[in-house]
Chains A and B, each alone.
Chain A
C-alpha cells in the first residue's frame, strides 16, 4: 500500500472540523493541548486533537509510531527534519516579501537548498534504523524512493551549481560624491586591518564598542538594487541561470513529504510534552484498547491538566486507580469536599481521551474502552440572564447527553442537582442513573448523595479520603470503598472546630 499519512490508516478519518469538542473545557483538555502545541501554531495541529479515533487498528497504528519515536535517534532525526523545513518556509517567506527579482530568486534558491538537505539527511538518518511501526516504515520506503528519483537528484544538482556560481561573484565599489563605480574584481587588501594594527596599542583594555549595527532587514534599497543590476551585467550567465531557476522550479516540494511534515508534528508535540513529565518521575503507558469488554482498569492514573493549571510539580500530583469488573459500569464518587473527587472524574475522562487518540496515557498501566462518544456534565456558572432556572438547565443538558449516548459511550457527571432540595436531588439522580444503566454506558458520577453508591450491582462506590493519623489532612486519594458516613461528618466537624479535642482545647 502506498504511503499517504502517518496519522491515519483510513482516508475517511481525516479531520475536517476545527471545533473543540464539548468535553474539552470540562476536562481541562484545552489547556493541555494549548501547552502541547505551543510553538507549533504554523502546523495547525488542533484538529488532530479534536478528532478521536474509534477503532482499535487506528489506535494501534499511532501507538506504534509513538513507540518508534521513543528511540532517541529516530526522534532526533525527525525533529531535525521538522526544524529544517521550518527554516525552508522562513526563506520562502523572505522570497515572497522581497521586491527585486534577483533577491526573490536568491531566497527561493536558499529555501530549496534547505529542503534538499533536509530530505537527504532524513533519508540517510533513517536508512539503517530499526523501525517497527508500519507508519514510519512505509514513510521511509517512500522517502528513499523519492530521494533516488530523477526529479530530486536533478533539483539537488542544479541548486548546488547555482550556489557555487553566486558564491564566486565579487566586485569592488568606489564611492565618490554621488557616484558609485562598480568594478568586476575584488581587492583583498584590508585597509581596516592596517588601521587596527597601527592603533592596536591604543586599544588595550578598550571596553566600549563603536561598531554600528546596520539594518538587518533583508530588503534592498534602490541604490543596492541598482548596484546589483550592474553586478549582474558583469556576470550575465550566472544571473540568467538564477532567473531560469526561479521561474521553473516553483513546485519543488513533494506533497506527501509536505503532509508528513505537518502530521508528524502531532507526535513530536505529544512526545515532548510527555517526556517532560516522565523526566520528573511520572509514568505513561499505551493502554490496551478494549473494543467490546467493559472490564477496564487504570493504575496510577493522574490528571495531566492539573499540572498545567496549578503550575504544579508533576511529582506532587496524586495518582489514583480504578477498575470495573463483571457487571460494574458506574463509579459513584463521594467524600469530603476538596478531596480530589473532581480531579478523579477528570482523570477518568482524560485517560479515555488520550487512549482513543492513540497517545501515551497518563497512567502506569491501563485497559480502556474504545468509545464512540465522551459526554460530560460539569456544573456551570449560573447564567443570571437566562429565563430558565438552573435545575431546568441541568436537566436539559443531561437529557441531550442521554439522547446521544450508547453502550460504547462514556458519561462523566460532576455534582449534578446541587440547586435543588436533597429529596429532589436523590430522586432525579436515581432516575438518571437508572437510564444510564439501561444504556449500558460507562459513567463516573461525582455526588454528595451517598446512597447512589449502592443503587445496584452496576454501581461502584469510590471515596475521597483523609489521612489516617490526621483527619484534617486531605490525601487526594480516591479509593474503592463503601461510604462509611463518619469520615465525612468528622471532617466537617473539624472544619468548624467542634470535635472533642477542639472543644476541650477551646473551652478553658
Chain B
C-alpha cells in the first residue's frame, strides 16, 4: 500500500535531502512566515510544509501532478480533511498501545500487534468505504490512483479473512505444533499447526478404542521454572506469526505515517489558500516551463509573506520578458526592490513545490535551485572583513549552484569601493550568465549598472524602483535605465521630516 500523493511513482522521503542553501534562503525569503500560515499552529504541518518546499523538484510532470491533487483537495476540502484525521488518529492510537512493547517475547509482540491491528483494520474499513463512495468526485490522477489502490488492496473478503485470523491468533483452544528432534535430541523445526477441525470425530474414536492417543505432562502449580519453560515453548510456536503481525503493523503504520505526511502538505496548502483568499489577494496555479526556456512572465506578483505580516493588500508587479538572464534592479530606497526580489524567489519555490503562487499569473522555467546573496549586517565575530565574508558566502553559493538555477542578489559586494565592487560583480555576473543561471541583481553600484547598460546586451533587463514626481513611492518597478541616485535624499526628508 503506497500513498503516492506527492509523486506519481514514489514516496516522499521525510529524511530526504533539502536544498543545501536552506539556512540562507529561509531568512532571506522570509519562508517561516509562509510555513506558519500553512501550519496554523500545527507543528507537524509546519515541519512538512518546510520539508516539502525545501525538497528539490524539477520535473514539470510532478509539479502538475501536485497541482491537480491540490485542486481536488480545494474542491473536496472536508473529505480530504477527514481522511487526514483518520491517519492522525491511527497513528495516535497506535502510540497509546505502546505499553509493554519493549518486551522481546513473541507472546508480548503478538498480543500488542493483535490489539493495534484490530484498530487499524477498523480504520482501513472506514477508509475503503469512503473511497468507494467518493472516488468519482476526484479528478486528479493522484487521488484516483489512491482510492483505486485502497479499494483493490482492501477488498471486503480480504478484511473478513484478516478479522478471522485475528480471532484465531488469540489461540483460545490452545496451541498446536509439530516438532522433530534436533541436535542433542532437543525439539527443533517447530511448526505451528492450525487448530484441528476434526476434534469431535477423534473424541468419538477415542471412546471406541478406549485408549487416549496422546500422553500428557502437566506443569505443576508452583513450578515457576516449568511455567517459564512452557511460555518459551509457546513462544517458539508463535514466533513467526508474531513477526508477521508486527511487521504488518509496522507497514500499515508506515502507510498512515506516509499518508499523514503527504496529505498534510495539501491540508497546509488549503490553509494557506483560505488565508490568502480571505485577504482578497489573487492566487493562481503557475505554469512551469522546461529548464532554460527563454521566457519569464507574471502579472500582479506580490510577496505573500509581506501580505501575511501586514494583513492588508500589497501592490503587485507585472512583467514579461524574453530571453533575459540578468535583471538589474536599481532605484529608490524603500521602493519595493527587496520585496520584489522576495516575491520572485517565493513564487519560484512555491511553484516547484506544486503550490499556487501569489500572482494573477506566473510562467517561468523550472530552476535547479533558488539562491540568495544578500548584504548582511556586520557580525561581531571580527573574524574576517566584510568583503571577505561576502565572498566567502559567494564561494559557498558557487559550491552548490548548478546551471539553470535562479539567484537573487540584494546589494551584494558593496563592502569595498564602487570600482572594485563593480569589477567583482561583473566577473561573477558574467560567469553566472554563461552557466545559464537566471540572476536578479538589486544594486546601488551605479558604475556597474551603467556599463552593463551601455553594452546594450539583449539578455539584460533593467528595472527601476519608481518614484512619483512628488517623491512618494509606488512600490512598483518599471523598466528603465539606471539612475545615478537612489533617492536617499527622499528618505532623509521623510525621516527627518524636513
Q: Which residues of A contact B (CB under 8 A)?
A: 94, 98, 102-103, 105-107, 110, 166-167, 169-184, 186-192, 194-196, 198-199, 201-206, 208-212, 214-215, 218, 220-224, 226-228, 230-231, 233-234
Of all chain B residues, the one with the shortest Cβ separation from A166 is B181
* B43 lies within 8 A of chain A by Cβ: no
B229 / chain A contacts, CB cutoff of 8 Å? 221-224
Distance, CA A195 to CA B186, complexed state (A): 26
Q: Is there contact, CB below 8 Å, between A179 and B185?
A: no
* B204 lies within 8 A of chain A by Cβ: no
B176 / chain A contacts, CB cutoff of 8 Å? 172-174, 187
- If A167-B181, A212-B106 touch, whether A203 touches B193 (CB-CB below 8 Å) is no
Q: Is there contact, CB below 8 Å, between B251 and A205?
A: yes
Which segment of B213-221, B342-350, B372-380, B428-436 sits at the interface?
A: B213-221
Of all chain B residues, the one with the shortest Cβ separation from A228 is B185
Which segment of B50-58, B238-246, B303-311, B461-469 sits at the interface?
A: B238-246
Chain B: minimal CB distance from A243 (Å):
12
Q: Is there contact, CB below 8 Å, between A203 and B216?
A: no
B226 / chain A contacts, CB cutoff of 8 Å? 221-223
With beta carbons under 8 angstroms apart, the residue of B104, B162, B175, B213 that contacts A175 is B175
Of all chain A residues, the one with the shortest Cβ separation from B164 is A198
**Residue from A110, A172, A179, A192 having most chain B Cβ neighbours under 10 A:** A192
Q: Is there contact, CB below 8 Å, between A166 and B185?
A: yes
B227 / chain A contacts, CB cutoff of 8 Å? 178
A170 / chain B contacts, CB cutoff of 8 Å? 178-181
B281 / chain A contacts, CB cutoff of 8 Å? none
* B165 lies within 8 A of chain A by Cβ: yes
With beta carbons under 8 angstroms apart, the residue of A103, A183, A184, A203 that contacts B248 is A203
Q: Is there contact, CB below 8 Å, between B232 and A178?
A: no
- If A103-B185, A212-B106 touch, whether A199 touches B217 (CB-CB below 8 Å) is no
Interface size on B, residues (CB 8 A): 64
B39 / chain A contacts, CB cutoff of 8 Å? none
* B230 lies within 8 A of chain A by Cβ: yes
Distance, CA A189 to CA B192, complexed state (A): 8
Q: Which residues of B contact A (CB under 8 A)?
A: 1, 104-106, 109, 153, 161-162, 165, 169, 173-181, 183-187, 191-194, 196, 213-221, 225-230, 232-237, 239-248, 250-252, 254
Q: Is there contact, CB below 8 Å, between B175 and A198?
A: no
Interface SS majority for chain A? mixed
A180 / chain B contacts, CB cutoff of 8 Å? 216-219, 230, 233
5 cross-chain pairs, A with B, having the tightest CB-CB distances, nearest first: A176-B174, A202-B248, A223-B229, A192-B240, A186-B178
Chain A: minimal CB distance from B196 (Å):
8
Distance, CA A196 to CA B161, complexed state (A): 13
Q: Is there contact, CB below 8 Å, between B193 and A196?
A: no
Chain B: minimal CB distance from A244 (Å):
16
Chain B: minimal CB distance from A112 (Å):
14
Chain A: minimal CB distance from B153 (Å):
6
Distance, CA A195 to CA B162, complexed state (A): 9
Q: Is there contact, CB below 8 Å, between A218 and B234?
A: no
Distance, CA A190 to CA B217, complexed state (A): 24
Interface SS majority for chain B? helix
Distance, CA A7 to CA B239, complexed state (A): 54
B183 / chain A contacts, CB cutoff of 8 Å? 106-107, 110, 218
Chain B: minimal CB distance from A167 (Å):
7
Distance, CA A169 to CA B183, complexed state (A): 13
A172 / chain B contacts, CB cutoff of 8 Å? 176-179, 193
With beta carbons under 8 angstroms apart, the residue of B237, B248, B254 that contacts A199 is B248
Q: Is there contact, CB below 8 Å, between A198 and B217?
A: no
Distance, CA A110 to CA B221, complexed state (A): 37
Distance, CA A387 to CA B126, complexed state (A): 97
B180 / chain A contacts, CB cutoff of 8 Å? 167, 169-170, 186
Chain B: minimal CB distance from A234 (Å):
7
Distance, CA A178 to CA B252, complexed state (A): 35
Ordered by A's residue number, 13 sampled pairs between the chains whose C-beta atoms are within 8 Å are: A103-B186, A166-B181, A166-B185, A170-B178, A170-B179, A175-B174, A180-B218, A187-B176, A212-B104, A215-B232, A223-B230, A224-B233, A233-B215
Chain B: minimal CB distance from A188 (Å):
7
A198 / chain B contacts, CB cutoff of 8 Å? 161-162, 165
Q: Is there contact, CB below 8 Å, between B213 and A183?
A: yes
Chain B: minimal CB distance from A8 (Å):
39
Q: Is there contact, CB below 8 Å, between A173 and B179?
A: yes
Q: Is there contact, CB below 8 Å, between A194 and B181?
A: no
Q: Is there contact, CB below 8 Å, between B184 and A107?
A: yes
Q: Is there contact, CB below 8 Å, between B174 and A174?
A: yes
Apart from A183-B213, A211-B239, what are 8 other A-B pairs with CB-CB below 8 Å? A175-B237, A184-B213, A187-B193, A191-B192, A199-B244, A201-B1, A212-B105, A223-B219
Distance, CA A98 to CA B183, complexed state (A): 12
Distance, CA A227 to CA B176, complexed state (A): 14
Distance, CA A211 to CA B186, complexed state (A): 20
Q: Is there contact, CB below 8 Å, between A195 and B218?
A: no
- If A98-B184, A110-B183, A222-B225 touch, whether A187 touches B178 (CB-CB below 8 Å) is yes
With beta carbons under 8 angstroms apart, the residue of B174, B225, B239 that contacts A212 is B239
With beta carbons under 8 angstroms apart, the residue of A175, A210, A230 that contacts B215 is A230
Distance, CA A493 to CA B109, complexed state (A): 79
**Residue from B169, B233, B244, B248 having most chain A Cβ neighbours under 10 A:** B244
**Residue from A212, A227, A230 having most chain B Cβ neighbours under 10 A:** A212
A210 / chain B contacts, CB cutoff of 8 Å? 106, 109, 242-243, 246-247
Q: Is there contact, CB below 8 Å, between A195 and B251?
A: no
Distance, CA A499 to CA B161, complexed state (A): 96
- If A173-B179, A173-B233, A222-B226 touch, whether A208 touches B215 (CB-CB below 8 Å) is no
Q: Is there contact, CB below 8 Å, between B247 and A208?
A: yes
Q: Is there contact, CB below 8 Å, between A221 and B225?
A: yes
Of all chain B residues, the one with the shortest Cβ separation from A238 is B181
Distance, CA A180 to CA B218, complexed state (A): 6
Of all chain B residues, the one with the shortest Cβ separation from A194 is B194
A204 / chain B contacts, CB cutoff of 8 Å? 1, 251
- If A175-B233, A199-B248 touch, whether A106 touches B184 (CB-CB below 8 Å) is yes
Distance, CA A249 to CA B170, complexed state (A): 49
Distance, CA A195 to CA B219, complexed state (A): 29
With beta carbons under 8 angstroms apart, the residue of A166, A179, A201, A234 that contacts B218 is A179
Q: Is there contact, CB below 8 Å, between B251 and A212?
A: no
Of all chain B residues, the one with the shortest Cβ separation from A103 is B184
Distance, CA A172 to CA B230, complexed state (A): 15
A103 / chain B contacts, CB cutoff of 8 Å? 184-186
Q: Is there contact, CB below 8 Å, between B216 and A218?
A: no
With beta carbons under 8 angstroms apart, the residue of A94, A98, A195 that contacts B244 is A195
